[in-house]
A and B are shown apart, each in its own frame.
Chain A
Amino acid sequence: MIGIVDYGVGNLRSVQKALEQLDARAAILAGPDQLRGIDRLILPGVGAYGDGMAMLRQRGWVAPVLDFIRTGKPFLGICLGLQLLFDGSEEDAPANGPLVPGLAALPGAVVRFREEQATPRLKVPHMGWNTLTWQRDDPLLRGLNQGDAVYFVHSYYARPVESAARPVASAMCDYGGPFCASLWRDNVWATQFHPEKSQRVGLKILANFAAV
């Protein structure tokens, strides 16, 4: 059974319905006490970083999510769910102040696109269908073609601390420069885009997750 973490941010039904359409059983988990029997976990999310972390804490999800990741079972973060895996984010942080802390399951920071990083000026949020370029053979991206487009809607993106021995990013996207569109390390996967909104390509990715 696939569990979907409900921490009060956004509608989770589309993720659940997408999985059901793929004949994967998925349950929306109101709290960590419902983790029994869950062998794959999805952390979705929309909205602001600080609110997301506050809600995870309030509902007692922080330690159970990190414990689940440590079990080695497949884990998938989506959009804000990707960003929350990192050390922290610029979002909601004071200018030049410390980052708003995240789950710190992966090394790196979440930063904002800058309008001035491109000419003509970059539009923020990055919204729409953009193409993926894989960095390596990620089981979640199998069956996709190089250059397939997926749906993004976000103003912030993760900058993983990369090492050759333990790479993080698995596919890049270009928006005023390359950024991490999807990642894979050990049993942890995450996408900055929304597979549940990315039509056929997105459903393929979710099917891959249900089968890894």
Chain B
Amino acid sequence: MLTHRIIPCLDVKAGRVVKGVNFVQLRDAGDPVEIARQYDAAGADELVFLDITASHEDRAIMLDVVRKVAEQCFMPFTVGGGIRAIGDVTALIQAGAEKVSINTAAVVMPDIVAQTAKRFGRCATVVNIDPKRVPRAEFEARRAEREAKGLFAPRDSNPSTDYVFEVHTHGGRKPTGIEAVAWAQEVVRLGAGEIMLTSMDADGTKNGYDVEMTAAVSARVDVPVVASGGCGSPEHMRRVLTETRADAALAASIFHYGEYTIQETKRYLADRGVPVRLTAA
């Protein structure tokens, strides 16, 4: 039986993990390679590295991190953040990233999704979608603007609510005028083999995933969806994995600060009937 993946997410800046990771065993709390090895040993199902670096020089450092992780961790991992052109994708894959996650670039130039899928396969092509709830009228104004420019701008498929799940880019700062479900379907058509779905409303709150939004998107695409944003406890994972069609749950601080171990989290889920992979401690 296919198990649900439990995925720690690491933010990397200039080759260092930020938001610190609080493992007792760690000699260097900022070393992404050492942290990755710890999560590997702890039985994490996959790792996500988000490069939050701005400068060009730091991109080379990130590639070095990816290379080292690939050589020392025998588990799947995805790298996202800062992908602006197909050349960035190629460099990450050649460094050993198994999957790359494209976010803002997919909105700015959707062809990058198709190119990534064509060169490296759908299985390596992840699109990160960051929706936020916005009032319908605000969304509609931006959508109409896009439509006037001849851009992808379908009407919201669920006009019964007074809010819309609007895709944002640039770390949640920039609204796009694109509705999340329609965008998810569009990137799958373009070649995405997985969607990482991060609620900009829930992210950082630790109040739980946006179950309604995750349910809406995961029911309408035929590729795996990773729920992200807002995880504060294993119960939040149980909810999003049982009440939606999400395949995986991503979390950061609950693992990094040692609030819950991967083992405890998986045991909690397994005891409540959620299929997860249990590994020997």
Contacts and interface: CB of A to CB of B under 8 A. Distances in A.
Interface of A: 10-11, 13-14, 17-18, 21, 46-48, 115, 120-131, 149, 151, 153-155, 174-175, 194, 196-200, 202-203
B132 interface: no
A14 B95 CA distance: 10
Given A151-B75, A175-B2, A199-B279, A14 B123 contact: no
Interface stretch (B66-74, B235-243, B252-260): B66-74
B247 interface: yes
Nearest to B45: A129
A13 B222 contact: no
A122 B247 CA distance: 11
Nearest to A194: B76
B177 interface: no
Contacts of B99: 153
B194 interface: yes
Contact of A128 (B70, B72, B248, B280): B248
B70 A14 contact: yes
A131 to B, nearest CB: 6
Contact of B1 (A130, A153, A202): A130
B197 to A, nearest CB: 14
A115 B222 contact: yes
A129 B266 CA distance: 13
B168 to A, nearest CB: 25
B121 interface: yes
8 contacts: A123-B222, A123-B247, A126-B2, A128-B45, A128-B224, A128-B247, A199-B40, A202-B74
Nearest to B194: A127
Interface of B: 1-5, 40, 43, 45-46, 67, 70-72, 74-76, 93-96, 98-99, 119-124, 193-194, 222-224, 245, 247-248, 277, 279-280
Given A46-B123, A155-B122, A124 B222 contact: yes
B74 A120 contact: no
Main secondary structure of the interface of B (DSSP, over half): loop
Nearest to A46: B121
Contacts of B4: 128
Contact of A123 (B46, B70, B223): B223
A108 B135 CA distance: 55
Kindly name the residue among A17, A115, A153 whose own CB sees the greatest number of chain B CB atoms within 10 A: A153
Nearest to B6: A129
A45 to B, nearest CB: 10
Nearest to A116: B222
Contact of A125 (B45, B75, B95, B123): B123
A171 to B, nearest CB: 14
A196 to B, nearest CB: 6
A17 B69 CA distance: 11
B115 to A, nearest CB: 13
B222 A46 contact: no
A127 B247 contact: yes
A10 B90 CA distance: 10
Nearest to B222: A115
A130 to B, nearest CB: 5
A131 B247 CA distance: 16
A203 B45 CA distance: 15
Contacts of A127: 123, 193-194, 224, 247
B222 A129 contact: no
Contact of A11 (B43, B75, B96, B277): B96
Given A121-B222, A128-B2, A129-B5, A203 B74 contact: yes
Given A46-B120, A124-B222, A199-B40, 9 more contacts: A14-B96, A17-B70, A46-B121, A47-B124, A122-B222, A127-B224, A129-B45, A129-B277, A149-B3
Kindly name the residue among A48, A128, A197 whose own CB sees the greatest number of chain B CB atoms within 10 A: A128
Given A46-B123, A46-B124, A125 B223 contact: yes
A125 B193 contact: yes
Contacts of A174: 1
B244 to A, nearest CB: 11
A96 B135 CA distance: 48
A4 B135 CA distance: 55
A126 B224 CA distance: 8
B95 A11 contact: yes
A128 B71 CA distance: 20
Contacts of B122: 125, 155
Given A14-B70, A129-B45, A198-B74, A153 B3 contact: no
